[in-house]
Structures are given as C-alpha cells and as structure tokens.
C-alpha cells in the first residue's frame, strides 16, 4: 500500500527538516525533493532586472520529477533499503510504503495533483522568511533585492492561486511554531490517515 504526502512551503519554511525527521519516525519512508530537479543556471531565464527566475515552474524539470514519483510508486520496496519500524509504529503499518515529496512549487502543477494522500503548506510571515533566507548560502548567491523583487512576490502569487482554488485540499501550517510542535501535529495526522486507509 502506498501513502504519499506533499510538503510545500515558502523558502526556508522548514519543510526539509520536517521531512527528514518524519522519515526517521515512519516505516518504509522515502523523500523526493523538488530541489533536485532544478535546471542548470544557464537554462534558467533572467528578467529585465537581471534576476534569475528560479521561483517558477519553468526553472524545474517537472516532467522528470513526476516520472521519479511514479517510478517510486510502481516499486517502492526496490527503491530503498526497508527501514526497521520505529518502536511506536502500529503493527498494521508494516506493509505500507510512505513517500514524502517536499518542495516550494508543488500544488500548482496539474500532473502532481492525482498523486497525493495529504498536502501540507508551511507558511511564514515576511520578516521571518527574509531573516531565515539571509542566513543561507545559495549557489548562485542571491543578488541584492532578489528576495523582495522575485522570491517573495512569487510566493504570494502562488499562495493566492492556491487559496482561490476551492477544490485544493491543503493543510496550512504555521512555520513559526517549533519543529517539535509541527512534527507532533503532522505525525499524528499521518498515523490517523494511515489507519483510516487500513479500515
């Protein structure tokens, strides 16, 4: 049985850390990261201000990402070494394979919409997001004004599109909460969903 959850967040929202921690708590769990599907810098468009447009779907090999997810779903057991179940995992989940897909542009790409069981979106207020972004080193490095000129406006545009789509079932999470609090909430939610699946 396959269970796929998608984690989306604003830049530096904490999705990768959360995904890694969940992977250690859940049986037979794997992660696919959208960051692994960026096109090389030479293929990413530049706007009139000189900003590289990384925060758009065109900057990513999305077809390859969908193919990777589908391949994993076809044969999850062969894609990794099956982990020993964590002590607190129910016995009836041992034959479930769990995939966590994490990224910053997942829910506005139609071919991904049929692949999920649960969708989470980690949000951050502007100041906190900008503060966290400034502590990270990127290749290529952020040019002056890049966050305000490209990253944040694209996040707002994307989030607004999501909120306007009434059919989109997304669980919004407050990224300013502690990792422990977020982890506890998401883990409980997933176990509940998995148990529903088994009924």
Predicted structure pTM score: 0.88
Query: Helix 152-164 and helix 126-134: axis angle, to 10°?
Result: 140
Whether 35 sits among the annotated catalytic residues: the reply is yes
Q: Are 102 and 23 in contact (CB under 8 A)?
A: no
Per-residue pLDDT tens digits for 46-89: 999 989 999 999 999 999 999 999 999 998 877 654 444 444 44
Residue with tokens 């900008």: 130
Neighbours of 111 (CB within 10 A): 13
For residue 81, the model assigns a pLDDT of 46
From 35, 95, 148, 171, active-site residue:
35
Q: In what order do the strands lie in the sheet with 29-33?
A: 29-33, 97-103, 2-9, 118-123, 171-174
- Which residue segments constitute the domains of the chain, with CATH numbers given? 2-83+93-197 (3.40.50.300)
pLDDT digits (tens, 9 = 90+) for 161-173: 888 887 788 999 9
Distance CA 80, CA 188 (A): 24
pLDDT at site 92: 58
How far the first Cα of the chain sits from its last, in Å, is 13
Give the pLDDT of residue 86: 47
Side-chain half-sphere CA neighbours of 115 within 13 A? 24
pLDDT of the residue at 87: 47
Q: Spell out the alpha helix ranges (H) of 84-168.
A: 126-134, 146, 152-164
Give the residue ranges of the chain where pLDDT is below 50: 81-89
């Amino acid at each position: 049985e396959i269970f796929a959850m998608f984690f989306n967040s604003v830049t530096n929202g904490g999705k990768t850390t959360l995904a890694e921690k969940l992977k250690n708590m859940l049986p037979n769990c794997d992660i696919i990261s959208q960051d692994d599907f960026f096109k090389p810098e030479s293929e990413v468009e530049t706007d009139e201000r000189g900003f590289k447009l990384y925060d758009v779907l065109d900057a990513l090999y999305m077809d390859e990402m969908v193919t990777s997810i589908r391949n994993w779903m076809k044969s999850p057991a062969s894609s990794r070494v099956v982990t020993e179940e964590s002590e607190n995992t129910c016995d009836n989940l041992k034959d479930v394979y769990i995939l966590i897909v994490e990224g910053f542009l997942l829910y506005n790409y139609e071919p991904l919409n049929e692949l999920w069981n649960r969708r989470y979106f980690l949000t951050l207020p502007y100041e906190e997001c900008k503060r966290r972004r400034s502590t990270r080193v990127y290749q290529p490095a952020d040019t002056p004004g890049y966050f305000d000129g490209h990253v944040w406006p694209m996040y707002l545009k994307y989030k607004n599109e999501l909120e306007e789509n009434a059919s989109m079932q997304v669980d919004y999470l407050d990224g300013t909460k502690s990792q422990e609090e977020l982890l506890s909430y998401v883990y409980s939610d997933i176990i509940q969903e998995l148990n529903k699946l088994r009924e």
